[in-house]
Amino acid sequence: MRVCLLDAGPLVALFHPGDRFHDRFRQCIVEPDAPVQLHTTWPCVTEASHFLEPRYRLALLQWIGAGAVQVYPFDATDLLDMCGWMAQYTQQPRTEMDLADASLYWLACESGVTRIFTVDVRDFSRYRLPDGRAFEIL
């Protein structure tokens, strides 16, 4: 079984049929050829919820509530590391590491999982974990 991180963009795409990535992520995540275990964080769920209209938002939250995704919490003190990464990877006005990205970076550091479903290829291509590893973008 593959373990993968799940960013907000694919969460939106999965539940919004009009999203240009909808079919791609449904095929990869909901109907995979090989089983996949999905991990995300609350900032990613919050960001995805913000971008979905109510009927799709409720479907997303029910899917997560049914156990489709493991949502990892973090302690308030973890925000100090996240703020450091956000400062390091933010180069205004062009690029910004937001809290959702920083929380997935944190989860990768904690879990060792570097495979990630994201539409944010530009940013996740430039992030490097403290040990030098890059994310494997799916």
**pLDDT score recorded for residue 32:** 66
**pLDDT score recorded for residue 28:** 83
Instruction: Extract the tokens encoding 128.
Output: 């490097």
Amino acid letter, residue 66: A
Whole-number Å distance between alpha carbons of 28 and 23: 9
**C-alpha pair distances (Å), 40 with each of 10, 70, 104:** 11, 6, 7
* 3-class DSSP assignment, residue 9: helix
94 by Cβ neighbours in 10 Å (0-12 / 13-18 / 19+) ranks as: exposed
pLDDT at 31 over 80: no
pLDDT tens figures, 74-132: 999 999 999 999 999 988 667 889 999 999 999 999 999 999 999 999 999 999 999 99
Domains defined for the chain, CATH in brackets: 2-137 (3.40.50.1010)
Q: Note whether 95 and 87 are within 8 A (CB).
A: no
Pick from 40, 12, 35: which is nearest to 25 by CA?
A: 12
**pLDDT score recorded for residue 95:** 82
- HSE-up of 18 (CA within 13 Å, CB side)? 4
Instruction: Extract the tokens encoding 75.
Output: 């302690």
